[in-house]
Amino acid sequence: MRRNKILEERRKRVNPDVRDSVALSFRIVDRIHEILEEKGLKQKDLALKLGKSEAEISKWMRGTHNFTIDTLVSIEDALDAPIVQVYHSHIYPAYEFEPMVAAEP
């Protein structure tokens, strides 16, 4: 996937104390961009599907938005594609569930 130069510059300036959290946020944004591109959609289309303003979606897509689970589920539903997948077998080994990982760019 083609990287956004602005996002890449922002990634370089992230404080190391919050890097993991922000890195996940960037992976989420990268995944949303990937889905939009695959489906031939624009951020404007996502805004319409979610009933949000284009400005709000643009703010989310800058890579530092703190997505809630509800928001992620809404985006997944709107795009009919998975964004975040979770796998924690080392934490909960007795619990069986479908293995999932955050989509990597």
Confidence of residue 15 (pLDDT cuts 50, 70, 90): confident
Output the pLDDT for position 45: 97
User: How far apart are alpha carbons 2 and 58 in whole angstroms?
Assistant: 18
Confidence of residue 10 (pLDDT cuts 50, 70, 90): confident
27-30: long-range pairs with CB below 8 Å, 24+: 27/102, 27/103, 27/104, 27/105, 28/67, 28/72, 28/83, 28/84, 28/102, 29/60, 29/61, 29/62, 29/63, 29/65, 30/1, 30/103, 30/105
Per-residue pLDDT tens for 26-71?
889 999 999 999 999 999 999 999 999 999 999 999 877 888 999 9
Output the pLDDT for position 29: 92
What is the pTM assigned to this prediction? 0.68
Residue with the bigger pLDDT between 15 and 50: it is: 50
